[in-house]
Structure 1
Amino acid sequence: MTIEYPSRSDTPRSHLPFSPATRVGDLIFVSGQASVDLTGKIVSDTFEGEMRRSIENLRKVLEDANSDLSHVVQTRNYVRDSEDVIEFNRIYREYFSAPFPARTTITNCLGPNLRYEIDCVAVVRKD
């Protein structure tokens, strides 16, 4: 089976040693997406701003791999401050709908520069 690393020049990148996504067959494994610009520079914001930017980065990486948010089967979410969990759940429902993907949420994590990060497993869209 072939392993691919789909990305385009306008895919958000990190200076750290990982690929934005890895595709194996019809499965896409997306690395953690945070509130960063195209060069991987952290864009600090409110929790809501960082979460929305992170999910928009996730959306872009999925598009590059011929998928989208409706084809996500699992998410892992990292919320730095537990007091943001109520807002996290409210915003999450705007991007993912029932039946929701399988989900893990870890709180009280991440360093001081990030409020939120998300990674996922998705399937390729069958157009």
Structure 2
Amino acid sequence: MSDSARKSATHYAIGNKNPNLPFHPAVRAGDYIFVSGQVPKDENNDMIDGTIEEETVATLKTIERIIAHEGATLSDVVRITTYLQDVRDFGRYNKAFTAAIGDAVLARTTVEARAVINTKIEMDAIVYKPLPAAKS
């Protein structure tokens, strides 16, 4: 999609879709970006198996890489939902999350989700990043 067509689109996918999965990493709908559940991955898209603190930071970086395609940063995130494999990790996760997110103002929900496998954490996000005004 050309840049001019992309800027005028109100609903399109962001990032490369995994051919084995029926969804995209993120979708833009107007001024909002909806990020699908993300897990801790490095820049090469390889899974990171670490402490809850390491996996929290890595998952936020994964989200950050995805939304950067639209010029957004973590400060543009308005809501994050976190799924922890083990709720006993909440305190350590919360400290790492707070340190990583800085002064961002956002809503957040955290739940235990036993279905999270091969990782300690998964996060999805909603981002508010207005489309640039059309030039006349």
Class of the TM-score when normalised by the shorter of the 2 chains: 0.7 to 0.9
> Any residues of structure 2 matched to 1:9-28 within 5 Å, and which?
15-28=20-33
Alignment counterpart, residue 57 of structure 2, candidates 43, 46, 52: 52
1:6 equivalent to 2:14? Answer yes
CA RMSD of aligned residues (A): 2.6
Q: Percent identity?
A: 27
Structure 2 residue runs without a partner (length 5+): 1-8
Q: C-alpha displacement at 1:6, in angstroms? A: 2.2
Alignment counterpart, residue 29 of structure 1, candidates 34, 56, 68: 34
Point out the structure with max Rg over C-alpha: 2
Q: C-alpha displacement at 1:89, in angstroms? A: 0.9
Equivalent in the alignment of 2:6: none
**Structure 2 CA distance for partners of 1:44 and 1:38, relative to 1, 3 Å:** same
Give 1:109's aligned amino acid: R
Equivalent in the alignment of 2:68: 63
Give 1:4's aligned amino acid: Y
The total of aligned residue pairs comes to 124
TM-score (norm 1): 0.82
1:80 equivalent to 2:85? Answer yes
Structure 2: distance between partners of 1:72 and 1:13: 24
The answer to whether the Cα contact below 8 Å between 2:26 and 2:36 also exists between their aligned partners in 1 is: yes
Structure 1: distance between partners of 2:45 and 2:93: 23
**Structure 2 CA distance for partners of 1:86 and 1:14, relative to 1, 3 Å:** farther
DSSP 3-state at the match of 1:76:
strand
Alignment counterpart, residue 115 of structure 1, candidates 117, 120, 132: 120
Deviations 1:1-42 (A, max 9, x none): 6211122xxx69584221111001110000111023567553
Q: C-alpha displacement at 1:95, in angstroms? A: 2.5
The answer to whether the Cα contact below 8 Å between 2:83 and 2:116 also exists between their aligned partners in 1 is: no
Alignment counterpart, residue 106 of structure 2, candidates 93, 101, 109: 101
Structure 1 residue runs without a partner (length 5+): none
Of stretches 13-22 and 53-62 in structure 1, the one that deviates more from structure 2 is: 13-22
TM-score (norm 2): 0.77
Structure 2: distance between partners of 1:92 and 1:4: 29
Structure 1: distance between partners of 2:43 and 2:33: 20
Give 2:114's aligned amino acid: C
